[in-house]
Amino acid sequence: MPKKENFTSIFLFFLIFTIIIFAVSKFGFLSLPTSILQKALSPLAGSVFSAFNFFSNENNSAIAKLSDQNSALAKKIINEEILKKENSALADQFATTSVRSQTLLAAKIVGAPSFIPGVSNPQSLIIDKGTKDNIKIGNAVIYKDNLVGKITQSNLYFSKVTLITNPYFSATVKTLRTQAQGVIKGEGGKKIILDNVLQSDDIKVSDVILTKGDQDMKGIGIPPDLIVGKLISVAKKPSNLFQKGEVSSLLDFSNLLTVFVIKY
């Protein structure tokens, strides 16, 4: 602190002295002495300027270093939070699913084409697994024991999951309570329609809808007993050949971060 105070005093002295010289020179006096004095003092002025630049640069360097440390800390916190959520999803999946863990491939959701939060609902997802991970068209995609959709496109590094709410999605299903059979079809938005249920079959609101199974000889497709959702309405008219209803998934697809591909 004493060194800093001495430096400040010296600086103030030369500052006042310079102002006096400047004022006198404005009136044309001491032009020769002034030029001599300026020449004599120029090395000292340069030293003072360099000293201030040194302290200023040191201060800026310290601020920049602190900013870099804060950025690194923020990135570390974000990465730890993402890792925690992914580990939690993995733990939940393998603790609750009835599917053999060796057939499940965890995949991170990296995109949702045409999805706008608060405006529209996702109808498909892009995941970070592709043909290099042995992903095949038709593979079922789940979260816990809930059906998310199926793989409809794939390249080396990424795949497209068509959700069960998508109008291009359909699958055969059954009710848990009575084993009544039907077909689910996506209707866009959050809607899933249950159709092709015989009039004689017993279905009612709150029935749990499960997949019946649509796998081929290679095991590709949708396995049985995955949860599609719950029946939230039933439309039964004697004049119609079939009764139908609306199904609500137990999942919020817009909040999913990780899904699991069933592969054989």
Segment 98-118, tens digit of pLDDT: 666 568 999 999 999 989 998
Which residues 6+ apart lie within 8 Å of 250 measured at CB?
146, 227, 229, 230
Three-state DSSP state, 212: coil
Residue whose token pair is 């360097």: 61
Best CA proximity match to 212, nearest among 225, 231, 201, 200: 225
User: What one-character DSSP code corresponds to residue 223?
Assistant: P
Q: What is the pLDDT of residue 238?
A: 85
Which residues 6+ apart lie within 8 Å of 39 measured at CB?
none
Dist. CA 55–CA 3, nearest whole Å: 13
Give the chain's mean pLDDT. Answer: 81
pTM value is: 0.67
Which residues are registered as beta bridge partners of 87? Answer: none
Which residues 6+ apart lie within 8 Å of 125 measured at CB?
109, 111, 112, 148, 149, 160, 161, 163, 253, 256, 259
Q: What is the pLDDT of residue 68?
A: 63
Instruction: Name the range with the highest mean pLDDT among 2-6, 39-43, 86-90, 254-258.
Output: 254-258
φ, ψ of residue 254 to 5 degrees: the values are -70, -15
Residue 30 has pLDDT above 50, yes or no: no
Segment 154-188, tens digit of pLDDT: 999 999 999 999 999 999 999 999 999 999 999 99
Mean pLDDT of 27-48: 53
Residue 27 has pLDDT above 60, yes or no: no
Q: Report all structural domains of the chain as residue ranges with CATH numbers, in order of start.
A: 2-70 (no CATH), 101-262 (2.40.10.340)
Query: Between 238 and 99, where is the model more confident?
Result: 238
Residue 142 has pLDDT above 70, yes or no: yes
